[in-house]
Amino acid sequence: MSESSSPTSPATEAGPRRIVTRGERRFVLLGTAHVSKASADEVRAEIESGDYDRVAIELCDARHAALTRQSEMADMDLFAVIKSGQAGMVAANLALGAYQQRLADQFGIEPGAEMRAAITAAEAADTPLTLVDRNIGITLKRVYRGIPWWQRASVLMGLAASLVSSNKIKEEDIEQLKEGDMLEATFNEFAEQSEHMHAALIDERDQYMAARLLMQADTPGTTLVVVGAGHLKGLANYLERGMAAPAERVATLDTVPAGARWVKWIPWVIVALVLAGFGLGFAHSPNLGWHLVAEWFLIHGVLCAVGAALALAHPLTVVAGFVASPLTSLNPTIGAGMVTAAVELWIRKPRVGDFSTLKSDVTTVRGWWRNRVSRVLLVFLLSTIGSAAGTWIAGFRIVDQLIGA
């Protein structure tokens, strides 16, 4: 297998580029600025030149859909998203969208214009288009699983804060973004603090994209690869180095590391301890046993209902949370948040307009509560937090009263 490369060209009027040949295929890597109209024009001109039989872009299916099929969001089954554990991915996409919207509002810039230009130009030229980036949900899950458990809460809180941040984006941030990566810029504060987070956001994606491209190496031709300038060096290096089994590398990087097995048993252990506490209470006296049960139901129900109310859920959703939380807490296979989210969706089904304005609404705190889509996520999150708090508070109450009995 042959290989060759050309050095990075200076970033003057044209974007930096590298040319790497692997096997039968020549890859022209074009480094773009995600916030530059000039980059979009250059990408369009390159594809229209007819020099390429394939185009590859730094997008995954989810980000591609966000750019090209925004209307399809109206068909999204929010409850299925929450039930399948994809709420975090939706929140991450909202964080990315909110950051991009703030760029557009402040500077009149359309982030991702060069990717959109590549999509439309490739379609017009009838040139096959390949999405080579890793799914954003998998990337963030690998970030989450890779950092120590004691750092996860701060990252989640920081992500939540970034969703509604009203801080102005500085001019120097724009300049850094021209040479960097949109995902890393969105979570910049945490990427700088965590070596693993930076690796998952940048280096692993460089490897992933290189592997996806190397899977084309046996087919003669030339591929234009449109990536952010921040990925140019790493991607070129991995292409030049080559991989023995690129398909296997893709599969490995698409795998989310399994969590510790013992963690899965914690909810069941808690349920067993609570039921044992009820049993000890009844063994001491029926009055104590019923008192413990009543406190469990009352504390759980109130805290879950408060969480739903803070999300401005419908009154029936608040009532459903009050009733469901004490019961779902004794069945780890279903959460109180799933119940409240399902009821809220049933009563207040999001409208098409909610999906169309979601991207701009989530840039403000008020918008999160006004938009029915984001409010469902808030109902799920806050009622889940309330129910979890109820488990610990009511659990400590059971222990305290058993000791004092």
pLDDT in tens, 200-247: 778 899 999 999 999 999 999 999 999 988 888 889 999 999 998 999
pLDDT band at 100 (very low <50, low <70, confident <90, very high): low
Percent of the chain with pLDDT over 90: 38
pLDDT band at 130 (very low <50, low <70, confident <90, very high): very high
For 323-378, what is each residue's pLDDT tens digit? Answer: 999 999 888 888 898 899 999 988 988 876 777 777 777 777 788 888 888 888 88
User: How much is the pLDDT for 2?
Assistant: 45
Residue 146 has pLDDT above 60, yes or no: yes
User: For the whole prediction, is pTM greater than 0.85?
Assistant: no
User: How much is the pLDDT for 264?
Assistant: 78
Q: Which residue has the higher pLDDT, 219 or 66?
A: 219
Residue 142 has pLDDT above 70, yes or no: yes
Q: Which residue has the higher pLDDT, 142 or 181?
A: 142
Percent of the chain with pLDDT over 70: 71
The rounded distance, in Å, linking the Cα atoms of 140 and 89 is 8
User: How much is the pLDDT for 84?
Assistant: 67
